[in-house]
Copies of this chain bind each other. A is one copy, B any other.
Amino acid sequence: MTNYDNRFATSDQYSLRGRVFRKIREDILSGKYKEHEELKEVAIGEELGVSRTPVREAFRQLELEGLIQIIPNKGAYVTGITAKDVKDIYMIRSLLEGLCARMATDKITKEQLEEMEENIYLAQFHADKGHMDQMAELDNRFHDILYEACDSKMLEHLLKDFHQYVLRVRQKTLSNNSRGRASNNEHRQIMEAIKAKDAAKAEELANRHMINAYDNMVKNGLYEIYGDELNEEDNNKWKELK
Contacts and interface: CB of A to CB of B under 8 A. Distances in A.
Contacts of A88: 152-155
Q: Which DSSP category, helix, strand, loop or mixed, fits chain A's interface?
A: helix
A66 B4 CA distance: 6
Contact of A154 (B69, B85, B153): B85
Nearest to A64: B64
Interface in A118-176: 152-155, 157-158, 161-162, 165
Contacts of A15: 72
B95 A2 contact: no
A97 to B, nearest CB: 11
Q: How many identical chains are in the complex?
A: 2
Q: Which of A4, A71, A95, A242 has the most CB of B within 10 A?
A: A4
A79 B165 CA distance: 25
Interface of A: 1-5, 7-10, 12, 14-15, 17-18, 56-57, 60-61, 63-66, 69-72, 79-80, 84-85, 88-89, 91-92, 95-96, 98-99, 152-155, 157-158, 161-162, 165, 236, 239, 242
A7 B92 contact: no
A52 to B, nearest CB: 11
Given A88-B155, A92-B99, A4 B72 contact: no
15 contacts: A3-B63, A3-B64, A4-B69, A4-B71, A5-B236, A5-B239, A7-B79, A8-B69, A10-B63, A17-B60, A57-B60, A85-B153, A88-B152, A95-B98, A96-B96
Contacts of A155: 88, 92
B4 A165 contact: yes
Contacts of A65: 2-3, 64
B153 A69 contact: no
B7 A66 contact: yes
Contacts of A99: 91-92, 95
A10 B101 CA distance: 32
